[in-house]
Amino acid sequence: MKREITRVEHPDHILSYFRLETGPLAIVTVSGIIYNVGMTAGPYFEGQLAQCLYDIMKGRRTLQDMLMLAGTYLAVIFLVQLMRCLKRFYVRRFANDTSRNMRHMLYNSLVNMSRAQLEQENLGSIMTKAVGDVDACVEGMRKFTTEVFDTGVVLVAYLVMLFGYDYRLAFMSCGFTLAAYFIAGRLKNVVTSYSAAYRKSAGLLNQATMDRVSNEITYRVYGCETQRDEAYEIRLKDYEKRAVRANLWESTMQPLYNIISMCGVVLIIFFGARNVAGQGWTSWNIAAFTTFMSCFAKMALKSSKAAKLFNAVQKAKVSWKRIRPLMKEYVEKSTDSEIDFKAQEALSVSHLQVGKPDGTQIFSDVSFCAEPGQIIGITGPVACGKSTLGKVLIGEIPYEGSIMVGDRELSSLSEYERSRLVSYMGHQPELMSDTIEENIRLGEEKETDGFLKAVCMEEDLQQMPQKVKTHVGNGGVRLSGGQQARVALARTLYHEGQILVLDDPFSAVDRKTEAEIFRNLKKIAEGKTVLLISHRLWLFPQTDRVLFMENGHTLYAPHEEMLKKSDDYAQLYRMQMAGGTEDAE
């Protein structure tokens, strides 16, 4: 069953995630108060048991009294521990739900980023934020929620008990606990700076790892493996050094906090003994002395954990600072539309202009019209803007001018409407690490055989033991370049819209296969508008019209007419035909 997505109001505010979990946090509050106030029963009963044992030795009480007291103690502790289990369960549920909500908001933000924004983000840093920083942030929230009760409430309960027995001695002995807090507070900036450096180093190490794996063949062919391994070792050593420094201040300070907090025991032994002897500020028996000592020891231990909590919260603040810019309002993917996607409508491009973020013009004043059933060949020199034009049509790159499909402006359509109207095969196949079949289906249930046959994959599949169930590997690494391109083309035809944008679909196949695929394409895409982006021109005579792009400008005409209008196009075409080369440009 699909779980309903939780909406987070103001996802860049940490309190928003606490508000989402009011139910579990209410149970945590009630059970936490009962458990932590009940923790004072331990020192109390320990003192009573010690006094009872002393009275038995003096003959004033019996073994039955001891058993009754022990039974009551066990019953109370059972109830207290039951509340502890309940609190821990709902704290963990709060943490799990918060982790899910944060990851969902982060994922939503990343998938809705423009390509330009994504290119500004280091991939290793993104992975660190998506995994390590969310974990650290949620862990800080979990510890805060836990220690509010396990440290805050129980400390108050212990202090009330201590001051009730002897407020002077309680005030003196608790001074050491305050000293531990003071030290932890003074060190928070140190913890923050080392934690931030550690997180940054982790992101750089992740980036170096992915770079080494992704470009392994290139580095091996050009003999750069040793160089890249040395660079990786530098990153690894830096990560290790910063991890040690970050953990040093968080972990090794814990014993120091314990020692400082427990120094008050010396005062309790001295002044507490005077109270028992009747020479101190108040009169104690053995039960009072034992209860006070036990209560202080437990309080000192808890206080040292509070100091550790400060460090955890500081780490969480560092991680939250890193991921906060990515925590944005949820973008609803609308699937509602009044457009008839089966209608055959003309594509009209008028005075289209596209530029780079720095203001450099890629192309300007592009105008052409394509009718349903036409195949338009688009070509030009390297970096003339062919692929950019294809990305404009799928809404990945903003544009000026007009792109009309029938009577609708393309920029006015939602992402869902564009995805139903335009099918796209990019220059890079972008295959998932799944089977050939699933790479084509993308969750749909229609048969894939006809489309695989159309792209001439039948013979290739016969050589694969698992046929369409063959896993393609990460990014399609288990397939050849031609196989990757044909699987991507089969996927585009499988999910065909009214407009098919095909960016260099035949770059890695021979001419015979290209011709057969082209014939099949004309049959499958009958009634559709096909924009065929390619630098291989020998099939362009079979297209309805040619769009030639050069130096930011374009010419649009049938192939034969284009040969007369453009000397550059004619020279490029004749060179390929005369030389018989498949990849001449």
Same domain, 144 and 23: yes
Mean per-residue pLDDT, 448-465: 85
Same domain, 297 and 365: no
Q: Which amino acid is at 22?
A: T
Q: Are strands 499-503 and 400-405 parallel, antiparallel or unpaired?
A: unpaired
- Structural domain includes residue 8: no
Same domain, 315 and 453: no
Mean per-residue pLDDT, 30-40: 85
Residue 502 contacts residue 489 (beta carbons within 8 Å): yes
Same domain, 135 and 238: yes
Same domain, 41 and 185: yes
Same domain, 315 and 385: no
pLDDT greater than 50 at residue 2: no
Residue listed under structure tokens 């390509």: 115
Write the pLDDT tens digit of every residue in 242-285: 888 877 766 666 667 777 777 888 888 888 888 888 888 888 88
- Structural domain includes residue 333: no
Same domain, 255 and 367: no
pLDDT of residue 261: 76
Same domain, 366 and 293: no
Residue 570 contacts residue 379 (beta carbons within 8 Å): no
- Structural domain includes residue 246: yes
| Structural domain containing residue 551 | 347-579
pLDDT greater than 50 at residue 582: no
Same domain, 69 and 183: yes
Same domain, 400 and 259: no
Write the pLDDT tens digit of every residue in 82-126: 998 998 899 899 888 888 888 888 777 777 766 666 656 665 566
Q: How far apart are CA 245 and CA 443, in angstroms?
A: 47
- Structural domain includes residue 585: no
pLDDT of residue 547: 92
Say which CATH number the domain at 366 has: 3.40.50.300
- Structural domain includes residue 340: no
pLDDT of residue 254: 65
Q: How far apart are CA 469 and CA 419, in angstroms?
A: 26
Same domain, 309 and 440: no
Beta strands across the sheet bearing 408-409: 361-370, 347-355, 400-405, 408-409
Q: Which of 292, 326, 360 is where one domain is finished?
A: 326
The number of distinct structural domains making up the chain is 2
Q: What angle do CA 519, 522, 525 make, to 5 degrees?
A: 145
- Structural domain includes residue 3: no
- Structural domain includes residue 546: yes
Which pLDDT band, with edges at 50, 70 and 90, does 560 fall under?
very high
Q: How far apart are CA 157 and CA 3, in angstroms?
A: 41
pLDDT greater than 60 at residue 301: yes
Percent of the chain with pLDDT over 90: 5
- Structural domain includes residue 170: yes
Say which CATH number the domain at 97 has: 1.20.1560.10
Percent of the chain with pLDDT over 70: 88
DSSP letters, 142-175, are HHHHHHIIIIIIHHHHHHHHHHHH-HHHHHHHTH
Q: Which of 326, 355, 370 is where one domain is finished?
A: 326
**Rounded mean pLDDT of the chain?**
81
pLDDT greater than 80 at residue 181: no
Helix (H, G, I), strand (E, B) or coil at 4: coil
Same domain, 288 and 418: no
pLDDT of residue 584: 39
Torsion over CA: 244, 249, 250, 256 (sign): positive
- Range list of H helices, 362-429: 386-393, 415-421
